[in-house]
Structure 1
Amino acid sequence: MMMSSLIEETRAGLVENIHDGLICGVNDQFQTLYQVGDVEQYVYYRSAAKPIQAIPAFMTGVKEKYQLTDEEATLFTASQRGEPYHIAALESLLKKIPVAETDLHCAASLALNSEPRDEMIRNRQQKRRLYHNCAGKHLGFLAVCRELGYPLEGYWKIDHPLQQKITAILSNLAEISIDKIKVGIDGCGVPVFAIPLKNMAITYLKLACPDLIEDKEIRKAVIQITKLMNENPNIVASEHFVCSVLLRDSNIVAKGGAQGVYCFGLKKERIAFALKVLSGSEEVWPNILVSILEQIDYSNKNTIASLKELRPNIVKNDAGIEVGKVETVFSL
């Protein structure tokens, strides 16, 4: 694998951590504009696939049929973190669509964010499938199965008609044949897809620029999905997370995934990026994204400033004293 260092963390001038990785940026001709490392390397989407996995729910009109609020429908794309507004929307969504919590294949969990998780523990609340980070996605899957007459049992298996439909949509968006898509099992138990990093960037280019999508039904769903993500950024993640910060910028479509995968598209510029931090770290996302946006001279400086607030390029000790630096070491 051809890779490059993306981030070096130093303490008193000595390199303490190095985060290697891959970056690919493409234009609306599907050409590679920016490259760090091997852009043909296969990478798992993890949760960066959620906007794509949500497309069948919007193609089948679930939002309209069950009169879902924007927040409830946005959950289909989300990596929700158990904040009170997430739980309220999940509870409401579960009441509206004709499925039971026991139908969810994801594991019972507590909230991901520390404050709501601690509150759940103090209140002696039990783990629930509804609290899982991917519960919104799974509720969307089940709603589609109900609408299309697919069996609920086994909706998480790759040979299920729902997963076959999702695979075909991914193939369309990624400009890659189905036989070249590699499939594993994600943390929540459903199929997770791996494709070359360049093709991953192409999918986010099409999310940002849906005019590039030939299929009218997929295009219509993508327009609806990305609008909801931009209008409800905290539902997609929560206040102080990268996805929500980027999605507050109406020019950006973005979603991260576990193990260091991040994708985003820029609507006006008609370019998109996919990246993989090979250490699996998500902590360094803000530093990498700031560097990418600064190197391409991105116009919205407020977005860049918000990312810098998430993780400044300094290392502090427990007393708040500066003891080191976080340095980006790649050039596009």
Structure 2
Amino acid sequence: MRSSLLADAPAIREPQHVPVAHVTRGGVIEGVHYGSVVVLDGDGAVRWGIGDIEAACYPRSALKPVQAVAMVRAGLPLDGALLSLAMGSHSGEERHLAGTRQILERAGVTEDDLRNVPDLPYAAAVRDAWLREGRGPSRLAQNCSGKHAAMLYVCTLAGWPLESYLDPGHPLQRAIAEVVEELTGQHIASVTVDGCGSPLFAMSLYGLARAAARIATAAPDTAERRVADALRVHPEMASGTGRDSAELMRAVPGLLAKDGFEGVQVAALPDGRAVAVKIADGADRARMPVTAAALARAGVEPRLLAAFEGEPVSGGGRPVGGIRPVAALHPPGVPATA
């Protein structure tokens, strides 16, 4: 897509977030999570929004499906579970480590060629077992290792340098930036470094939802469709056992969903309806209840979303409250849960 067809980069400013979730205890609002939410119709128009959906924000790992599209276009020959892993924020389970090793082997490189930050497995139970075995941080265990292995694979196939594959000026990262702008429909506002070390691009929440919708609605035999099919069929490879984005995709037929650190979530349906959520304080506990409410706003049947309404708040060992989206988020005719 030519740059002349892109919208201006979103403004870099303090986002005008608003209350999106209440933490209640005994009928009293004990805490408030601020944020922003956008809901798109199937034609890409904004059906509903709250907060600041046009300010620049970092999508964090919610951008990984877009990065995967760029890698497939650049020649990444993965499909299915391994392609899902290439866009994953995995838990560090053995299937994730084995899959990453398989990608590295196909690329003819080793774990030593990875440039992501060494870390412990992301999932608490997996991390605890890892530590009991006396193992320390590693690049393979870090939750973005599948993406980094896929980046190396593309570089080996294209003849691009391996050592500098995370440099924003590297051919791979320039290709990713072009696809980010194409799918979001807007110029990138800023480039920084994500937690794993890869370039991270700032966009609006609206742009993020638009990109997800374009992937979710892609025609067969496109890079976008390969990415969408891989994530839908193998959601746990992009996350892990019991992870909420995977569970959400299992619950809502055809849904494409990806979460990111600092309270970001994007989800899109096969007909183009899409939502994007940013929780201002980065609190993970508010991300999924707000996302579920946004999907109900988009027309998803509330019964499919009942398991994602949020964890209860306990008092004396029993539920006395919960984390609930603000009333404005609930679609007309669907009562807010107290």
* Secondary structure of 1:264's aligned partner: strand
CA shift in 2, pair 1:13/1:305, >3 Å: closer
**Farther off after superposition, 157-166 or 24-33:** 24-33
Aligned to 2:5: none
- Once the two structures are superposed, the pairs formed by residues 266-305 of structure 1 within 5 Å of their partners are 266-268=269-271, 270-299=272-301, 301-302=303-304, 304-305=305-306
* Secondary structure of 2:162's aligned partner: coil
Aligned residue type for 1:198: Y
Residues 1:156 and 2:158 are matched in the alignment: no
- Count of matched residue pairs: 314
Q: Distance in 2 between matches of 1:118 and 1:331?
A: 40
* Secondary structure of 1:331's aligned partner: helix
CA shift in 2, pair 1:299/1:11, >3 Å: closer
* Secondary structure of 2:32's aligned partner: strand
Offset of residue 300 of structure 1: 7.1
CA shift in 2, pair 1:295/1:172, >3 Å: closer
Provide structure 2 residue ranges, at least 5 long, that are not aligned to the other structure: 1-14, 330-338
Q: Does the Cα contact within 8 Å between 1:207 and 1:222 map onto a contact in 2?
A: yes
1:121 aligns with one of 119, 123, 131: 131
Provide structure 1 residue ranges, at least 5 long, that are not aligned to the other structure: none
Offset of residue 121 of structure 1: 1.1
Q: Distance in 1 between matches of 2:299 and 2:41?
A: 16
Aligned residue type for 1:47: S
Aligned residue type for 2:277: L
Residues 1:258 and 2:268 are matched in the alignment: no
Aligned residue type for 2:55: Q
- Once the two structures are superposed, the pairs formed by residues 188-199 of structure 1 within 5 Å of their partners are 188-199=196-207
Q: Distance in 2 between matches of 1:205 and 1:240?
A: 25
- Once the two structures are superposed, the pairs formed by residues 111-190 of structure 1 within 5 Å of their partners are 111-177=121-187, 180-190=188-198
2:107 aligns with one of 97, 101, 104: 97
1:237 aligns with one of 236, 239, 253: 239
**What whole-Å deviation, never above 9, does each CA across 1:56-83 have from its counterpart, x for those lacking one?**
33224433xxxx6732232101100112
Q: Distance in 2 between matches of 1:326 and 1:189?
A: 33
Runs of 4+ with >4 A deviation: none
TM-score by length of 2: 0.87
Q: Distance in 1 between matches of 2:317 and 2:230?
A: 38
Aligned to 2:214: 206
Aligned to 2:68: 54
Q: Distance in 1 between matches of 2:292 and 2:180?
A: 28
Q: Distance in 2 between matches of 1:89 and 1:300?
A: 35
Q: What fraction of aligned residue pairs are identical, expressed as a percent?
A: 28
Offset of residue 163 of structure 1: 0.6
- Once the two structures are superposed, the pairs formed by residues 36-75 of structure 1 within 5 Å of their partners are 36-63=50-77, 70-75=80-85
Q: Distance in 2 between matches of 1:62 and 1:286?
A: 31
Offset of residue 117 of structure 1: 1.2
Q: Distance in 1 between matches of 2:295 and 2:264?
A: 17
Q: Does the Cα contact within 8 Å between 2:40 and 2:298 map onto a contact in 1?
A: no
Q: Does the Cα contact within 8 Å between 2:275 and 2:291 map onto a contact in 1?
A: no
Residues 1:23 and 2:37 are matched in the alignment: yes
Offset of residue 105 of structure 1: 1.0
Aligned to 2:9: none
Q: Distance in 2 between matches of 1:40 and 1:148?
A: 36
Aligned residue type for 2:226: Q
* Secondary structure of 2:202's aligned partner: strand
Aligned to 1:316: 314
* Secondary structure of 2:30's aligned partner: strand
**Farther off after superposition, 131-140 or 22-31:** 22-31
Aligned residue type for 1:29: D
Q: Distance in 2 between matches of 1:196 and 1:28?
A: 19
CA shift in 2, pair 1:29/1:104, >3 Å: same
Q: Does the Cα contact within 8 Å between 2:39 and 2:294 map onto a contact in 1?
A: no
CA RMSD in angstroms, aligned pairs only:
2.0
* Secondary structure of 1:108's aligned partner: coil
**What whole-Å deviation, never above 9, does each CA across 1:83-108 have from its counterpart, x for those lacking one?**
22222222333322211211111111
